[in-house]
Amino acid sequence: MHFKVKQPLAKEIYESWYQVEKEIKKFDRIWNKVEKFDARHMSDPDNHERRQARLEERKKERNNHFIVYTGGLSEHEQNYRDYYESDLEEDPEHLYDDQ
């Protein structure tokens, strides 16, 4: 049985690994949101019609009034927030910002 002595890490290497891990977690959260939104009709069929109607209404309103997006949101991100508005009010963790 061999035991190896752990070599100390340089501060720069540790910080780089830490940044990589943060970016991976951020990507995972974004990926999960996209997957959830794309499968929205299957994940919560009881509320889908109501939420989809709200999404379509707000999308139409934005297109008719040329609303300027604030906060740097894309159309897809705004659709996500419109669709899951009630969930986001209950659990603001969905809006977690990694910056």
For residue 90, how many other CB atoms are within 10 A of its CB? Answer: 10
What is the pLDDT, as a whole number, of residue 77? 79
CA distance 86 to 47: 11
Is 24 within a domain?
A: yes
**Into how many domains does the chain fold?**
1
Is 81 within a domain?
A: yes
Is 4 within a domain?
A: no
Is 1 within a domain?
A: no
Structural domain harbouring 35 = 12-94
Model confidence at 50, in pLDDT bands (50, 70, 90)?
confident
For residue 40, how many other CB atoms are within 10 A of its CB? Answer: 19
Model confidence at 80, in pLDDT bands (50, 70, 90)?
confident
Q: Does the pLDDT of residue 85 top 60, yes or no? A: yes
pTM over 0.85: no
Model confidence at 65, in pLDDT bands (50, 70, 90)?
low
Is 26 within a domain?
A: yes
Is 52 within a domain?
A: yes
